[in-house]
Structure 1
């Protein structure tokens, strides 16, 4: 959180002091990349009949693809001591794609949870009878808003020359005496797009739980149990991936404005904030779990693919044996 001009007197650490961030991101990529490629394959080739919530989940996969493209550059930068070597233009594009992934993931996770909520709590509401066309328009509108809110990252110079360490640093969160309007939009979107959906997710979880308690037996109760499992999983992934960065970021701003003399606390909070940003990439790794809990069609297609792969593997030795006879 530092900038070459208009810097605050108390500056956070210029380079990472631990390997936590790059190692954590490498693990996320190793685990998350195969899972998301498998999910993309299932959505594209194994699911034949699409429903509105299936389309919303597919857009969540598309958002994760942006992360797959962008995170390797952040890993390389972290391993080089926060030294950005890919130029100013790609710095803006890279941070833009990371921010769009975060915003789109939050938006579509919330949309899936709201879809489950309305089908259980308000089954006769028009939203519960949303068509595939309506879901397509909703997805298009979501992408439009998400991209529009992150345009400031493409119009602002985010590449800082650190003369002390003789390196270039590419960061979307910098410390200014006077924050530019474009960056203010980015900051407000970062906080609002996390806290408001999080409150909605907690509300949906509570209401679906109340609906479950009113029922004792029957198939409807089973449907509600599946819905609440899906919403709880989404809420869990959302909380561990996105909430820490907002809490630490707001904590750093509070210390900076209210306790200006507490430089040590400010640096510590900034360090926690930078580490918590690595958690935001974890959503891509955990999203395949959401697909399994939120869509029976995806779950059935995954089981079918696994069973088919196992069957082919088992019959190949038999075919080889027959050939040798």
Structure 2
């Protein structure tokens, strides 16, 4: 358990995520901003996703530093934890919005083409998402105050998250978006698979939708299972906090969730591939 604790909660795993995530998201932001005159609603969603991933990545050095030198438990820790999970749920929310947008475009293609305010709608959805997440941070900020922490990034098991906060994260933050993503992705795959004209573009859409759905499930399921597991394992002594199996599972699942900022490059690749091929 101690070895896993070092590898995952330590700097090694997050260093890899930082390096890959920084390169991928810096390239994506550069490409999106460079082509801003040709943006569609999809590009706005993808830009929002890249911003959320980039904010998560650029603050990972604090977590890497903490693994080697231990940051003091101050308000900075509370800020870093809130920022980390705000960006994670911004990514979840944006991915869900993209899934709905793709489904509507495939299921109702004529209406989607005729609607003239798609970009404005995408901007409003992204803005509302960030406003809701910021409000949640303010309302539940006490959940991660320094006195509730074992280290700067780790909670003690005798200071569990409140039940209403756990249910909010699991049900509204993950389970409902999961149902939406799976439903929309499955319907898109079914509709395009039954199409008579299976063009390369449609095959690419099926590939990217399938990949995004799998990545979403793999990256975000473990951490929400871990939230529930750790909540029901809170009747433990403080000194056991670091090495109990449930806590190690939480550390591993947090790292897995953070890798999503690298896997989102699948979406960027297919979108930007079409972006540039249209002009060659």
- Taking the TM superposition and a 5 Å limit, the aligned residue runs for 1:1-325 are 17-21=5-9, 22-80=11-69, 83-85=70-72, 87-124=73-110, 129=115, 130-152=117-139, 154-156=141-143, 158-160=145-147, 169-171=151-153, 173-176=155-158, 183-192=162-171, 193-217=173-197, 219=199, 222-254=200-232, 267-293=244-270, 295=271, 298-301=272-275
Aligned-residue CA RMSD in angstroms? 3.4
Structure-2-length-normalised TM-score: 0.83
What is the match of residue 316 of structure 1?
none
What is the match of residue 321 of structure 1?
none
Task: Report the alpha carbon displacement of residue 282 of structure 1 after superposing the two structures with TM.
Answer: 0.6
Q: Distance in 1 between matches of 2:274 and 2:228?
A: 42
Q: Distance in 1 between matches of 2:198 and 2:220?
A: 36
Which structure dedicates a bigger proportion of its chain to helix?
Answer: 2
Q: Distance in 1 between matches of 2:143 and 2:226?
A: 24
SS at match of 2:244: helix
* Distance change (3 Å), C-alpha of 1:274 and 1:292: same
SS at match of 1:170: coil
Residues 113 and 230 of structure 1 are in contact (CA less than 8 Å); yes or no, is this contact kept in structure 2? no
Listed one character per residue, the Cα deviations across residues 27-53 of structure 1 (whole Å, up to 9, x for unaligned) are 111111111111111111134311111
Q: Which has the larger radius of gyration?
A: 1
* Distance change (3 Å), C-alpha of 1:186 and 1:303: farther
Task: Report the alpha carbon displacement of residue 194 of structure 1 after superposing the two structures with TM.
Answer: 1.5
Q: Which runs of 5+ in 2 are unaligned?
A: none
Residues 103 and 184 of structure 2 are in contact (CA less than 8 Å); yes or no, is this contact kept in structure 1? yes
Structure-1-length-normalised TM-score: 0.73
* Distance change (3 Å), C-alpha of 1:156 and 1:197: closer
Q: Distance in 1 between matches of 2:3 and 2:138?
A: 27
Q: Distance in 1 between matches of 2:245 and 2:198?
A: 53
SS at match of 1:216: coil
**Count of residue correspondences:** 274
